[in-house]
Chain A
Amino acid sequence: MLSRSEVDDMKVLHYLNPFFSQLGGEEKTNMAPMRIEGAVGPGRLFNSLLKEGQIVATVVCGDNYYAENMDKAREEVLTLIRKESPDIFIAGPAFNAGRYGIACGDLSHAVMRELGIPAVTGLYMENPAVDLYRRELYIVSTGRSAAGMRKDAVKMAAVTDKLLRGEEVGLPEEEGLIPMGKRVNIFCKEKAAARAVSMLIAKLKGEEIKSETPIPVYDIITPAPPVKDLSSATIALLTTGGIVPEGNPDHLPAATAKFYKKYSIEKLSRLESGQFESVHAGYDPVYANINPNRVAPLDILRIKEQKGEIKKLYPYLVTTTGNSTSVADATRMGKEIAKELLAAGVDAAIMTST
């Protein structure tokens, strides 16, 4: 039970990335953590919605800085947060942004664990951070982009206010939260046996029924067996870094790609700057454009082939943009690529992601 501080509203600490705190875009993605007085960007919206507390300070950290140095970054951010002695922590919302979502999820979890205060964040269902943190955190289910900021902020503020009042947070459907997979015991008028029979009768009649506990759907992926001998193996190079021939002749999208392409690398010993470029909008392409081998390492693989360490390099670079790709599209593309590669006699693949 949180005790009310005597003088004012409870203190809320807000975490944002540089884009949402209006400090900059991708060029600020390696920014170390810093503190800003009061609320900025969406924080101002939260302050207008919150009834039980106010954001007193905002901590900002670059998404790449966090994702690439998680332990160090987490400590640095926690140090800044501790100084404020907040009563509650709000992160994001991060919508579908992967790196930002990971930072929000990781920090929310760390804050709960190390500072013992509640945390609330907001993520889009398909954000990779959801699967990682849903069991531990109150994650408001947001839209895919900041276009829905207002209605998502309303839900986040409502959950935050409840936590500040020490009230019980309602069921996920009621609060707009992503289900945490917890089982809640409630009393019903009818006994379980009677309810089960009613459900069965309804199902036999073809009526819709609502299961009291969701039947888990496990996506168990059996790993393909290992390569026995690399020197007799054909290896394919794949990338989700959006590396395409200069000019992007097939218009591979910068985000939400629904297709992949194969580009001939048969005569090439490396990817040359000016002949290949990155079209992926989720990372700073400058390094890849100067040397595309930094994302798709054709140069090294070609040397391995020449030395006989691998038998053959598949003569195409398989490429797509792994930026906000939907799970459904990614799964489909993966299956299609596997089918193509198997038909072409490929034994194994190396896939790089940015």
Chain B
Amino acid sequence: MGIPTAHVATVTPISKSVGAVRIVGAVAIPYPVGQPNETKEKEEILRENIIEKALSALTS
């Protein structure tokens, strides 16, 4: 038995093809939970949004 894991990744089809079921789309390859083009505040809100999706995926 494993551990429920949320995978935050950009190329989600790869994640699917190896059997992951809790997949959350990332922003981009060099910054999956970042956004260097935004202000620090906006970037942190974006990061929080993705983490919340990941946490939510863990409960379903």
Measured CB to CB, the residues of A under 8 A from B are 64, 67-68, 98-99, 102, 128, 131-132, 219-221, 223-228, 230, 233, 235-236, 238, 241, 283-288, 290-291, 293-295, 297, 299-301, 303-304, 309-310, 338, 341-342, 346-354
Q: Are A351 and B60 in contact (CB under 8 A)?
A: no
Contact A227–B58 (Cβ < 8 Å): yes
Q: Is the CB of A300 within 8 A of B7?
A: no
Contacts of B36 in A (CB 8 A): 287, 290-291, 294
Question: Which residue numbers of B lie inside 8 Å of A, CB to CB?
Answer: 1-11, 13-15, 17-19, 21-22, 26, 28-34, 36, 43-44, 47-48, 50-51, 54-55, 58-60
Partner of B30, one of A98, A288, A348: A288
Report if A354-B29 is in contact (Cβ < 8 Å); known contacts: A223-B22, A293-B47, A294-B36. yes
Told that A64-B28, A349-B4 touch, could you supply 20 new A-B pairs with CB distance under 8 A?
A: A67-B10, A98-B11, A99-B29, A102-B13, A102-B14, A128-B17, A132-B17, A221-B19, A223-B21, A226-B4, A241-B32, A294-B32, A294-B43, A295-B34, A347-B3, A350-B55, A351-B6, A352-B8, A352-B26, A354-B10
Q: Identify the closest chain A residue to B1 (Cβ).
A: A224
* B33 and A301 contacting across the interface, CB-CB below 8 Å: no
Tell me the nearest residue of chain B to A63, going by C-beta: B29
A132, A287, A353 — which one has the most chain B CB atoms within 10 A of its CB?
A353
Nearest CB in chain B to that of A220: its residue: B19
**How many Å lie between the Cα of A304 and that of B52 in the bound state?**
9
CA distance A84 to B28 in the complex (A): 31
Residues of A within 8 A of B48 (CB): 300, 303
Given known A128-B14, A224-B3, A283-B29, contact A300–B51 (CB-CB < 8 A): yes
**In whole angstroms, what is the CA distance A341 to B4 when docked?**
11
Cβ contacts under 8 Å, A290 to chain B:
36
Contacts of A300 in B (CB 8 A): 33, 44, 47-48, 51
CA distance A236 to B29 in the complex (A): 21
Q: A294 and B34 in contact (CB under 8 A), knowing A227-B58, A228-B59?
A: yes
Question: With the chains together, A228 CA to B4 CA distance in Å?
Answer: 11
Across-interface contacts of B22 in A (CB, < 8 A): 223
A169 to B1, CA, bound (A): 44
A293 and B33 within 8 A (CB): yes
24 contacts between A and B (CB under 8 A): A102-B14, A128-B14, A128-B17, A132-B13, A221-B19, A224-B1, A235-B55, A235-B58, A236-B3, A241-B32, A283-B30, A284-B30, A287-B30, A293-B34, A294-B33, A294-B47, A304-B55, A348-B6, A349-B3, A349-B5, A350-B6, A350-B51, A351-B6, A353-B8
Q: Which residues of B contact A352 (CB under 8 A)?
A: 8-9, 26, 32-33
- In the bound complex, how far is the Cα of B6 from the Cα of A8, in angstroms? 54
**What's the Cα separation between A222 and B29 when bound, in Å?**
28
Do A304 and B51 have beta carbons less than 8 Å apart?
yes
Q: Is B10 touching A342 in the complex (CB atoms < 8 A)?
A: no
Given A67-B10, A98-B14, A304-B51 in contact, is the A227-B29 Cβ separation under 8 Å?
no
